[in-house]
Amino acid sequence: MKRKSITIALALLLVAGMAFAGMGRMNNQAGSMQRGQNIQDCQLLTEEEQIKVHDAKFDFEKKAIPLRAEIRILRMEMNELILNGKSSKEISGKLSKLNDTRSALAAAKLAQQIEVRNIVGEDNYRKMGMYNRSMMQGGRKGHYKQGSNMMGGRGYNNSSPYWNIPRNVK
C-alpha cells in the first residue's frame, strides 16, 4: 500500500513538473514574451504614434538589410581568404571593412531606438521595454540560430551549404 501511494505521488509530481515546464511555449502563457507583447505595446500608443513607430522601423530595415547582407558577404570572403592561406595583412583589410560595416549597423540601430523613444515618450518607451528588447531579440539570446558566430558561421554540425563546398586550397 505504501509503495503504491509513493508511486502515485511521484507520477503526479512528474506530470505537474512537465506541465509547468511547458508553460509559455504556446498561447502566451506565463514565462515567455510572445506575439501578444506587441499587441500590448501597441495599446499604449495612439494611432498616430503607431504609424510613426512603424515608419521608423520600416526606414531602419531599409538601411539595415544591405548592411546585414554586406556583413554576411564579408564574413564569407574572410573565411575564403583564411581557407586559401592568405596573409594576415590581406585578411585584416577585410576585417576592418567588416568592423566598419558592423559599427554602421549599430549606429543605425541606435538612431532608430532614439527616434522611437522621441516618438512615444520616455514613459511609454520604458513600459514597452524597448530599451532592453534589443538584447532579447537581436542580442543572440539563449538559443543559437543556425550559422551563428557561436558555431563559427558553419551552421549546425557543419551543415551550411557554403562549408561543404570543395575548395582549391593551395
Segment 128-131 long-range contacts (CB within 8 Å, at least 24 positions apart): 128/41, 128/44, 129/37, 129/41, 130/41
Contacts of 36 (CB under 8 A, 6+ apart): 28
- pLDDT, mean over the chain: 74
Q: Which residues of 111-124 are buried (b: 16+ CB within 10 A; e: fewer)?
A: ebbebbbebbeeeb
Q: Write out pLDDT tens, residues 16-65.
A: 777 666 655 544 444 444 444 555 555 778 888 888 889 999 999 999 99
pTM comes to 0.54
pLDDT of residue 42: 58
* Among 2-11, 95-104, 136-145, the range of highest mean pLDDT: 95-104
pLDDT of residue 108: 95
pLDDT of residue 168: 54
Percent of the chain with pLDDT over 70: 61
pLDDT of residue 75: 94
For residue 109, name the pLDDT band (cuts at 50, 70, 90): very high
Lowest mean pLDDT among 67-71, 72-76, 154-158: 154-158
Q: Is the pLDDT of residue 145 over 80?
A: no
**Alpha-carbon span 132 to 127, nearest angstrom:** 11
Mean pLDDT of 142-159: 50
pLDDT of residue 3: 81
For residue 127, name the pLDDT band (cuts at 50, 70, 90): confident
* Domain 46-139, architecture per CATH: Up-down Bundle (1.20)
For residue 4, name the pLDDT band (cuts at 50, 70, 90): confident
